[in-house]
Chains A and B, each alone.
Chain A
Amino acid sequence: NAGVTQTPKFQVLKTGQSMTLQCAQDMNHEYMSWYRQDPGMGLRLIHYSVGAGITDQGEVPNGYNVSRSTTEDFPLRLLSAAPSQTSVYFCASSPTLGTGTNTEAFFGQGTRLTVV
């Protein structure tokens, strides 16, 4: 069972370039999200989706776009990369919440992005 798969694992971009970070999950989870991790900052939510066709902004959405055309895929697009977007990016998915259930987020392996 692959779980949550992120590609690529490493990427170097030049300022102004655009790219898409891919995220796919095979657990039929409704909820998917993107976080960025910076030293001393923990993980911060960029965008999230509660199902196909539904997305919303998290804490740090500027400079990023998302779409959710299928349950399995949730790509993150950097429109015009900036050095401030140098970070480690994590995609996560969770099953549908039920009352009192333990629904931890399952994380991908992360993408280390450097913008020069």
Chain B
Amino acid sequence: DTGVSQNPRHKITKRGQNVTFRCDPISEHNRLYWYRQTLGQGPEFLTYFQNEAQLEKSRLLSDRFSAERPKGSFSTLEIQRTEQGDSAMYLCASSLLTENTEAFFGQGTRLTVV
């Protein structure tokens, strides 16, 4: 297993377009997290899944954002009608179910909205 994988690594899109990112977690990990990071800031929590259930969503996740994890394996994050303010690094992480376990992050998807 090569760790958490995110695709694409980079995405440039025009304002108003829809984009979708994919995250493949470490295979036995039950939990999957999405974070967003802008320049000079720490990652901000967006949402997380336990298996296929979406258990928590941040208020940052507006109605233009939707995340799925249909079979409890990979996850997708879709942004509809992108805005310039959506430009950021989108990070995915995964961990086991137990509390005292490490979270492992992917390399992120860099989104630029022009």
Please indicate whether A and B come from the same complex rather than being unrelated chains. no
